Amino acid sequence: MNAATYVKQLTVDTGAAFQRLSQIQFIAGASLFLLVYWGFEEGLAKFVVQLALLAVVLRPALLESRVLWLALSIVNTVALVDGWVAADNHKYLTVYWVYVVTLAVGVSDRKLGETILAWHGRFFLVFVFCAAALQKTISPTYMSGEMFEMRLLIDERFKAFGHLLGLDKSVADAAYELSARLRNPMTEFEGNAVALPSTDRIRTLGLVITWYDLIIQYAIGLLFIPGRGITDRIGHYLLLFFIFTT
């Protein structure tokens, strides 16, 4: 068998194996994908995650390996503790979910493992969205709309959106230039602060985005609390819409 034929056969066999994945294996695979693309970028954690991915591609059954997920839990915990000061919230949540998957594959009863994933998945969504929305509600600077107003003015990611809504490009350019000068260590401003130019339209849009962000996060979190089919479906639709729009 030549190399091309071997690779083709390996691809077919691997694809067929993935089609036979159980619910736990599928979620474990998605979680491993999360670790590969949004996990820790340095050190032992990255190496072990990449090694785990290679092992799973060659042998998908390893998705339920207790040893594999225990190793992933340990190296990601070490990476989080080592860089806890600079680690963003997503890293903490990712490590929490790795613990959940480790627990789910660690129990001998597959049904119990699926229940663990389902319960923690629901708790994860409720806690993350409700906690985030509550934190924003009690933040005066967030509720004022200032955060998104500033984003519309100086954040490159919002430029296309602002242009689509017809925001004055000259105002955004002037604000961006001022913010760049403020960050320049060679430039001095009184009080180390500067008032960015803005318009009523930009302020209003900032408030609209603020309330949209707040309401949809509360809605997603609260909809997953009852555990009913209709609320879960609406929650999933809103979650997908939230992901798409943010």
Task: Note the pLDDT tens digit of each residue in 82-99.
Answer: 888 888 888 999 999 999
Rounded to two decimals, the pTM is 0.75
Rounded to 10°, the helix 200-223/110-137 angle is: 150
pLDDT at 11 > cutoff 80 = no
Question: Is the Cβ–Cβ distance between 133 and 217 less than 8 Å?
Answer: yes
Place of tokens 């340095």: 42
What φ, ψ does residue 40 adopt, rounded to 5°? -70, 140
User: What is the reported pLDDT for 209?
Assistant: 92
Euclidean distance between CA atoms 143 and 136, whole angstroms: 7
What region, left, alpha or beta, does residue 145 occupy, with left being phi > 0 and alpha being psi -120 to 50 degrees?
left
% residues pLDDT > 90 (the chain): 48
Q: What is the tens place of the pLDDT at every residue in 156-206?
A: 888 777 777 777 788 877 877 877 777 777 777 666 677 777 888 888 999
**Looking at this protein, which amino acid is placed at residue 101?**
V
Euclidean distance between CA atoms 68 and 30, whole angstroms: 15
